[in-house]
Amino acid sequence: MQMDSKGKLIPVIEGRKICKRFSSKRGEKTVLEDIDLSVSENEFVVLFGPGQCGKTTLMNILSGLDVPTSGTVYCDGEIVQRPAPERGVVFQAMALFPWLTVRGNVAYGLKARGVPRDEWMERSDYFIKLVGLEGFEDAYINRLSGGMKQRVGIARAYCNDPKVLFMDEPFSALDAQTRYMMQDEIARIWETEKKTVVFVTNNIEEAVFLADRIILLTNCPSHVKKEYRIDLPRPRDYTSRDFLLLRDEITKQMDSTL
Amino acid sequence: MDKRKIISAGLAILSIVLFIFIWYLCTDVLELVPARTLPSPEKVLDSFIKKFHDKNPDGGTLIEHTLASLQVALTGYLWAIIIGVPLGIFMAWNRNVDKFVRPLFDLLKPIPGVAWIPLMIVIFGIGIKSKAAVVFCSAVVPCILNSYTGIKQSKEVHMWVARTFGATRLQMLWTVAIPTALPHIMTGIRVALSSAWVAIVAAELLGSTKGLGFMIQQSRGIYRTDIIIVGMLAIGICGIILSIILSFIEHLVVKGRK
């Protein structure tokens, strides 16, 4: 954790007045409007909002994959302009490399940076075990189920030891059962290997189950409507009274979309 | 599953047996065509075996002609791969290379390999060089086209993954684009093999001193239809063997796809 000259904590990720406009033949469309947010170390922040409200665009901007029309993103106090290994991403479509094995995928980032073999073997072993894929090291991706694929995606991002991990609706393609299981898993992994996480979802249960803090976004053009600090003890129970109350309260605040 | 395999093997054998039977019926049994025009399967088999050590009537055994054809075809073919595949890859990867090479490529692409024969004979004579050049011209086009298409199949999200892991552009080419393209590149190499084989026989028919095409052409002059058919069979068998070898290599190289 770093501090600035006045001894104030510098957030791991900070977005100031982020705007994003797309122009097409039909005119300009503002997707994000004046978004301010900050994420501190080892915090699990969920970006939550209705359907097409630009959550993915916001995440892409925070990770450096996309550039804002105006506004600035800081990572550890430095301006973000392009993607970097210190900002890992777990993509919605998984985006695993089918030509590599589980280990090849998990160790990809370390190999790309020229980390010696012993080290990437050891680290990939650890994270493959952590996500529960022991014994599948040499399997190719097309042999895995949806849940297992997403585990590989998570291990791949973790293995590179980023400062912050962005997850873009990682479980949206999974069936309901697997989704619950993976939510448990991600909570367990996060408790074992503390990490700053920015998690995008449009599923309220998922948000309340995982988040330290939920940032509620409005419909397009998106801005921050409200923030909720979730202090429920972990591991959380989907059916507890507090959980349900919180869930209802946030749902009421959410803009409805067709 | 096993039952299906037996049936398909049975059908394959049946088709060949039936073909030979009809051939036999038309020649030896019903004598629908004179033996000089279309010899019986028995006569062809006899000539086939004899031709293994008999240099008559064209000055070379079947093995010598086959090796001569293979040598020339493989020379031109390997050059086509060595030059065509990287060229296709770089055209797809670098816009300027594409802009520079494309007009010329588009102009030359529709010219069938066989159309190069007269020019090549004038330039290089009727030796190995002219025929290898003709083979090259036929085989290089599918190599370039398929490598190009393959690289263009690279998914944007895979590129993003590579970028978030800090991969350089060269690493993105080696670890993402080329693995993506590999199945297409192999397809191109396979298509190029048949083009090469067509081109070599055509080139030998028109101007040559040895090779299977030459053997066929010589036999036509002296009305030895049995040797013509022996030559055609040898061409077919070589083609099958070469494509089996290629499928084997393809199997080794392309991993994790269906």
Burial profile B209-248: b = 16 or more Cβ within 10 angstroms, e = fewer: ebbbbbbbbbbeeeebbbbbbbbeebbeebeeebeeeeee
Mutate which of B155, B165, B174, B178 to disrupt the A interface (most A C-beta within 10 Å)?
B165
Q: What residues does each domain of chain B span? A: 1-32, 38-253
Can you give the CATH number for the domain in which A208 is found?
Answer: 3.40.50.300
In a domain, A192, yes or no: yes
Q: Which residues pair with residue A29 across a beta bridge?
A: A22
Residues A183 and A73 in one domain: yes
In order of A76, A86, A109, A163, B90, the CA distances from B166 in angstroms are 18, 9, 7, 14, 22
Residues A153 and A186 in one domain: no
> Which residue in chain B is spatially nearest to A144 when comparing CA positions?
B256
In a domain, A121, yes or no: yes
Q: Looking at residues B180-197, what average pLDDT do you find? A: 93
SS3 label, residue A114: coil
**A28 residue type, one letter:** E
In a domain, A219, yes or no: yes
Residues A210 and A139 in one domain: no
List per-residue pLDDT tens for chain A, 258 residues long.
566 666 667 789 999 999 999 888 888 888 899 999 999 999 999 999 887 778 889 999 999 999 999 999 999 989 999 999 999 999 887 789 999 999 999 999 999 999 999 999 999 999 999 989 999 999 999 999 888 998 999 999 999 999 999 999 988 888 888 899 889 989 999 988 899 999 999 889 999 999 999 999 988 888 888 899 988 888 888 889 999 999 998 888 887 655
Whether the Cβ atoms of residue A51 and residue A202 lie closer than 8 Å to each other:
yes
CB contact under 8 A, A112 and B166: yes
Interstrand relation of A44-48 and A196-201 (parallel, antiparallel or unpaired): parallel
pLDDT at B257: 76
Residues A18 and A60 in one domain: yes
Instruction: Give the domain B38-253 fold.
Output: MetI-like fold (1.10.3720)
In a domain, A91, yes or no: no
Residues A75 and A122 in one domain: no
Whether the Cβ atoms of residue A50 and residue A219 lie closer than 8 Å to each other:
yes
> Which residue in chain A is spatially nearest to B183 when comparing CA positions?
A99
Please give the ipTM for the structure prediction.
0.85
Last residue of a domain, one of A106, A137, A161: A161
pLDDT at A4: 66
SS3 label, residue B124: helix
Question: Of B166, B171, B255, which is closest to A85 when you measure between CB atoms?
Answer: B166
Last residue of a domain, one of A141, A161, A181: A161
Any CB–CB contact under 8 A between A136 and chain B?
Answer: no
Domain count, chain A: 2
The two tokens of residue A222 are: 């998106």
List strands edge to edge, sheet with A13-24.
A27-39, A13-24, A70-75, A78-79
Residues A142 and A22 in one domain: no
**Residue A23, H or E segment:** strand A13-24
pLDDT at A100: 94
List strands edge to edge, sheet with A213-217.
A87-90, A164-168, A196-201, A44-48, A213-217, A224-229
